Chain A
Amino acid sequence: MSKKIISMNINGKKVEEAVEPRTLLIHFLREKMNLTGAHIGCETSHCGACTVDIDGESVKSCTCFAVQCDGSDVVTVEGLAQGGVLHAVQEGFYQEHGLQCGFCTPGMLTRAYRFLQDNPNPTEDEIRVGMSGNLCRCTGYQNIVKAVQYAAKKLREDAQKPVTA
């Protein structure tokens, strides 16, 4: 099958790669880019384990072709921590015990990362709706909601801190 050359900005790093047009984004990320954080849970876009951020939107990468993301900015769970410091959502899931087996967590984190940028001050109901595309079979969601609340609070506090030179 003829390949198409695509380029993407993945976690701030520019990559160029020849892929078959039928290659799904999740397979491209996991197998070509070795970014195995995002998982393949169901391959039918129900579970959200494969969620990544594409040009400012949460996308389930198992139902998206890599070629569709040609020229896009992609953020995966590996790109959330900056300079060795965990992102607020990662800290929230850690502190609030928002994971057990951890399989769904990369999708949860990338979704929460986008959700809190869209809605920095969500109610519990809004969190539950905002995260409803991501399934978790361990936690019962209670701690995931708490983790997102923790991250929301931290992000708001950080935003209020004066910028020092």
Chain B
Amino acid sequence: MNAPDRKAALQGMGDSRLRKEDARFIQGKGNYVDDIKLPGMVHMDIVRSPLAHARIKKINKEKALAIPGVIAVLTADDLKPLKLHWMPTLAGDVAAVLADEKVHFQMHEVAVVLADDRYIAADGVEAVEVEYE
């Protein structure tokens, strides 16, 4: 069998194919998660621990909540009544969503700030006061 006949007999097997999804990716129309905009969507930023191991004595949200555009500041204590402060992981165990009474590593998530946009959320993060010991 000569090469063109063989190729025809294979009916496309062994051929490389152009990808159907590329058309949108090369035109900036990928619609990745970060590209999605929903009505009423708010932004979140995270307060992280500067310390590797410490007890959280107190979290003061007042200054952050006073910033116009900050909607909420959530900590593990806010999630506790909802039983959402420890959640199952893919590995089958549970992990603290936000640091629960103690931080266990540097940059551990201590609180989250919800706000109208990412800049206000970042302002909120700066204004949250956490006391460690």
Contact size range, A: 20 to 34
Interface string of A29-57 (1 = CB under 8 A from B): 01100111111100000000000000000
B18 contacts chain A at the CB level, 8 A cutoff: yes
Interface string of B3-45 (1 = CB under 8 A from A): 0000000000000101101110111111110110100000000
Candidates B26, B31, B37, B119; contact of A86 at CB < 8 Å: B26
B53 contacts chain A at the CB level, 8 A cutoff: no
Complex Cα distance, B29 from A40, in Å, reads 15
Measured between beta carbons, the chain B residues less than 8 angstroms from A95 are 18
Candidates A27, A39, A40, A90; contact of B26 at CB < 8 Å: A90
Flag the segment in A76-84, A114-122, A154-162 that touches B: A76-84
Closest beta carbon of chain A to B43's beta carbon, Å: 10
Task: State whether B28 touches A103 (Cβ < 8 A).
Answer: no
Contact size range, B: 20 to 34
A61 contacts chain B at the CB level, 8 A cutoff: no
Measured between beta carbons, the chain A residues less than 8 angstroms from B32 are 36, 39, 103
Candidates B19, B23, B28, B118; contact of A36 at CB < 8 Å: B28
Task: State whether B28 touches A77 (Cβ < 8 A).
Answer: yes
Complex Cα distance, B25 from A80, in Å, reads 13
Complex Cα distance, B28 from A86, in Å, reads 12
Task: State whether A81 touches B37 (Cβ < 8 A).
Answer: no
Complex Cα distance, B27 from A39, in Å, reads 13
Closest beta carbon of chain B to A23's beta carbon, Å: 7
Interface residues of A in 67-89 (CB under 8 A from B): 76-78, 80-81, 86
Task: State whether A97 touches B19 (Cβ < 8 A).
Answer: yes
Closest beta carbon of chain B to A19's beta carbon, Å: 10
Task: State whether B30 touches A103 (Cβ < 8 A).
Answer: yes
Interface residues of B in 74-129 (CB under 8 A from A): 117-119
Closest beta carbon of chain A to B117's beta carbon, Å: 7
A99 contacts chain B at the CB level, 8 A cutoff: yes
A109 contacts chain B at the CB level, 8 A cutoff: yes
Measured between beta carbons, the chain A residues less than 8 angstroms from B16 are 97
Complex Cα distance, B18 from A94, in Å, reads 7
Task: State whether B118 touches A27 (Cβ < 8 A).
Answer: yes
17 residue pairs bridging A and B, Cβ less than 8 Å apart: A23-B119, A27-B119, A36-B30, A36-B34, A37-B27, A37-B30, A77-B26, A77-B28, A93-B26, A94-B23, A97-B16, A102-B21, A102-B22, A102-B25, A105-B25, A105-B30, A109-B26
**Which residues of B are at the interface with A, using a C-beta cutoff of 8 A?**
16, 18-19, 21-23, 25-32, 34-35, 37, 117-119
**Besides the contacts A30-B35, A31-B37, what 5 more A-B pairs have beta carbons closer than 8 Å?**
A76-B28, A77-B28, A78-B29, A102-B26, A103-B32
For the complex of A and B, the 8 pairs showing the least CB-CB separation, nearest first, are A37-B28, A102-B25, A36-B35, A77-B28, A90-B26, A78-B28, A94-B22, A106-B28
